Amino acid sequence: MTVGEVSSAESLRQLIGGFRISQAIGVAAELGIADLLANGPRSSSELAQATGSHPRALYRLLRALASIGIFTEVEPERFGLTPMAEVLQTDAPGSQRDTARYTASDVMWPAWGQLGYSIRTGETAFQHVHGLDVWDYRRQHPTADAIFNSAMTSGSSLQAAAIAAAYDFSGFGTLMDVAGGHGLLLTTILSANPTLRGILAEQPHVVASARPIVEQSGVADRCTVVEVDFFASVPSGADAYILKWIIHDWGDERALAILKNCREAMGQDGTLLLAEVVIPPGDTPSPGKFGDLQMMVGPGGQERTEQEFRALFEAAGFRLTRIVPTRSPLSVIEGKPI
């Protein structure tokens, strides 16, 4: 090994310590450090006073994060933003603040500590740790639910634009977004397709908060909000049905129930669109491969390969017609009724 070359052992050692980085970013996000630096660099003592933190301890945290490009020590004990730190700001486009907060919180962190339980049993570590599944836990813990929803919305802003740009929606008259949250994806697609009409179908407790957001979107005159329980049925009346990052939440049995309800709702000329990660074969890098472990830990679903999507589609009464990549990790997986 030449001077300066990193050994395999040292490379592995760095990866083993990756949990420390996640937790350090999560603490900085929880404290709102990036927001406090929005107007320029500040000393760690000032930041400690603003956040109620121990000055020396906070300096050590920021020094460690600056060493990997998150914040920069512009002069001794004085820190500023870097491009990665900027997206830890609450209002930054594609903000990762709440993703970091949720990942490092007492909600998800202990569940990942029981990954071995999931590997040994095939069961969901989250429920093993908390005694509730993800959905019931969030319903009973509104603060955690709000952080999670904010994290999903922040990530969706970039994904929605990528989906709207990659797939041609102009041939549809009405598009239904099934379990579309607060409507970010649907309103983004409607904004890019001025003749398209939309239906946002969500659970009752989500509909209540989604309606005012849709009304402020600029496309409210072309968008209807309806209640749905997609395990019971899916409303008819659309030419195409899109589900973004929904099917990966569930194992095959429950995913199949959702897709069969979509099939029943649409006519023979309808179109099914899933926005999901498609796992590539072999050693090909993909964020979905670790995302798949997240699904295993909680809520208990899975990411899928192209072959697995084809099998799921066929069992639900669809033929997978094409997969359209986007500039995000998600692809649009298109299906037509058999």
Nearest to 235 by CA among 264, 274, 214, 259: 264
Nearest to 328 by CA among 284, 285, 275: 275
Which parts of the chain are beta strand (E)? 42-43, 72-75, 78-80, 174-178, 197-202, 223-227, 240-244, 271-276, 278-279, 304-305, 318-325, 331-337
- Tell me what percent of the chain is helix, strand and coil, each rounded to the nearest 5: 50, 15, 35
Q: What DSSP designation does 239 have?
A: S
Amino acid at 80: G
> How many CA atoms are closer than 13 Å to the CA of 92, on its beta-carbon side?
24
Instruction: Return the residue matching tokens 């050692």.
Output: 13
Torsion 265-210-256-161 (CA) sign: positive
Which residues are catalytic, by number? 248
Strands 78-80 and 223-227, sheet pairing: unpaired
Residue 139's region, left for phi above 0, alpha for psi from -120 to 50, else beta, is alpha
Q: Which class for 40: exposed (0-12), middle (13-18), buried (19 or more C-beta within 10 A)?
A: exposed
Instruction: Return the residue matching tokens 């299906």.
Output: 335
The alpha-carbon radius of gyration of the chain (Å, integer) is 22
Say if residues 207 and 226 touch (Cβ distance below 8 Å).
yes
Say if residues 25 and 62 touch (Cβ distance below 8 Å).
no
